[in-house]
Amino acid sequence: MEDEEYDHICPYGCYEKEADQHEGNDACGDEVKKGDYILIHNGETILESNAIDYLVDILGAERKVAGEN
């Protein structure tokens, strides 16, 4: 039990983890957990770390390097 993180000890001495850390999945299919930074676009949840993937893969934005054709 040393390697695991627990939220608290129950009255009977057992260790418990917060059961519901999962908040669903974002538009890219990745798990959203409590405390993650998210963006909302047209009702879709997007993890902040997936913002570029969402723009390119789902909204069709083009990724380019400035100054190159």
9-41 pLDDT tens trace: 666 666 655 556 788 999 999 999 999 999 999
Mean pLDDT score, 45-53:
96
Is residue 49, in this structure, part of any structural domain at all? yes
The beta strands (E) that lie in 1-69 are given as 8-9, 15-16, 22-25, 31-33, 38-41, 44-47
pLDDT band per the 50, 70, 90 thresholds, residue 6: low
Let me know how long the chain is.
69
Q: How does the average pLDDT of the chain come out, rounded?
A: 83
Is residue 47 a contact partner of residue 37, using CB atoms and an 8 Å limit? yes
The maximal CA–CA distance of the chain, rounded, in angstroms, is 67
Is residue 29, in this structure, part of any structural domain at all? yes
Domain residue limits at 35: 22-64
For the domain that residue 31 is a member of, what is the CATH number? 3.30.40.30
Provide the domain count of the chain: 1
